[in-house]
Amino acid sequence: MANPTHRHTRSRRDKRRANWKGEAPTLVACPECSEPRMPHRVCPSCGTYNKRKVLDIVEKEG
């Protein structure tokens, strides 16, 4: 396989890496408790998914 024979400049390298940005996750309001949650996932605050109770959420003391 061919190997690079010339060094790439910093600007050329950085142009290639310019699109490696992180992005914030999309959040939607839960239809049951109106807390923000990620779409297509169980709500961490009330435990519902697709208008059904899937998890029993236990409150921690302390």
Asked if residue 3 is part of any domain, the answer here is no
Q: Specify the pTM.
A: 0.60
The boundaries of the domain holding residue 60 are 25-62
Instruction: Report how far apart, in Å, the C-alpha atoms of 11 and of each of 3, 6, 15, 25, 36 are.
Output: 20, 14, 6, 30, 40
What is the predicted pLDDT for the residue at 41?
96
Determine whether 43 is exposed, middle or buried from the number of CB atoms within 10 Å of its CB (0-12, 13-18, 19+).
Answer: buried
Handedness of CA 14, 17, 18, 20 (dihedral sign): negative
Asked if residue 2 is part of any domain, the answer here is no
pLDDT digit string, tens, across residues 5-60: 999 999 999 999 998 888 999 999 999 999 999 999 999 999 999 989 999 988 87
What is the predicted pLDDT for the residue at 62?
67
Sole residue written with tokens 């999309």: 26
* Residue 1 binned pLDDT confidence (cut-offs 50, 70, 90): confident
Count structural domains, the chain.
1
Angle at the Cα of 41 from the Cα atoms of 61 and 46, rounded to 5 degrees: 35
